[in-house]
Amino acid sequence: MKNGELLQTFRLCKRIKHVTAVDDLNLTVHRGDVFGFLGPNGAGKSTTIRLLLGLVKPTRGEVMLFGRLLKKARRLILSKIGALVEKPSFYEHLSARQNLAIILSFMGNNNLANIERVLSIVNLVERADDRVKTYSQGMKQRLGIAQALLGNPELVILDEPTTGLDPQGMKDIRNLIHRLAGEGMTIFLSSHLLHEVEQLCTKMAIIDKGKLIFQGNVEELRHREANRIRLKVDRLEDAASLLEEQPWIDSVDSNINEITVFIRYSSIPHMVRFLIDKGFKIYAVNPVQTLEDYFFSILEQGRSLKDTGN
Instruction: Report how many domains make up the chain.
Output: 2
CA distance 57 to 13: 9
Return the pLDDT at 143. 95
| Domain match, 243 and 96 both | no
Return the pLDDT at 294. 65
Confidence of residue 58 (pLDDT cuts 50, 70, 90): very high
pTM: 0.76
For the chain, give the mean pLDDT.
88
pLDDT digits (tens, 9 = 90+) for 251-298: 888 888 899 888 877 788 999 999 999 999 999 998 765 566 666 666
Burial class (CB in 10 A: 0-12, 13-18, 19+), 208: buried
Whether residue 279 lies inside any domain: the answer is yes
Range of the domain at 240: 227-292
pLDDT exceeds cutoff 80 at 220? no
pLDDT exceeds cutoff 70 at 185? yes
Confidence of residue 304 (pLDDT cuts 50, 70, 90): low
Q: Transcribe 235-296 into DSSP letters.
A: SHHHHHHHHHT-TTEEEEEE-SS-EEEEE-GGGHHHHHHHHHHTTPPEEEEEE--SSHHHHH
| Domain match, 53 and 100 both | yes
| Domain match, 79 and 200 both | yes
Last residue of a domain, one of 179, 195, 217: 217
Return the pLDDT at 309. 53
| Domain match, 89 and 142 both | yes
Burial class (CB in 10 A: 0-12, 13-18, 19+), 220: exposed
Whether residue 309 lies inside any domain: the answer is no
Task: Give the pLDDT mean for 43-53.
Answer: 94
Return the pLDDT at 293. 62
| Domain match, 168 and 246 both | no
Q: 244 or 264: whose pLDDT is higher?
A: 244
- Report the percent of the chain where pLDDT is more than 90: 57
CA distance 33 to 189: 10
Last residue of a domain, one of 217, 248, 269: 217
Q: 115 or 107: whose pLDDT is higher?
A: 115
| Domain match, 153 and 191 both | yes
pLDDT exceeds cutoff 90 at 189? yes
| Domain match, 74 and 148 both | yes
| Domain match, 209 and 245 both | no
Return the pLDDT at 1. 39
| Domain match, 174 and 263 both | no
Greatest mean pLDDT range, 6-20, 97-111, 160-174: 6-20
pLDDT digits (tens, 9 = 90+) for 121-143: 999 999 999 999 999 999 999 99
| Domain match, 105 and 160 both | yes
CATH number of the domain that residue 237 is part of? 3.30.70.1340
Whether residue 212 lies inside any domain: the answer is yes
Whether residue 111 lies inside any domain: the answer is yes
Whether residue 304 lies inside any domain: the answer is no
| Domain match, 97 and 124 both | yes
Task: Give the pLDDT mean for 196-210.
Answer: 88
| Domain match, 288 and 247 both | yes
Convert 184-240 into a string of H (helix), E (strand) and C (coil).
CCEEEEEECCHHHHHHHCCEEEEEECCEEEEEEEHHHHHHHHHCEEEEEECCHHHHH
List the end-to-end C-alpha distance of the chain, in Å, as a whole number.
37
Whether residue 305 lies inside any domain: the answer is no
Whether residue 20 lies inside any domain: the answer is yes
Return the pLDDT at 125. 95
CATH number of the domain that residue 11 is part of? 3.40.50.300
Whether residue 298 lies inside any domain: the answer is no
The amino acid at 59? T
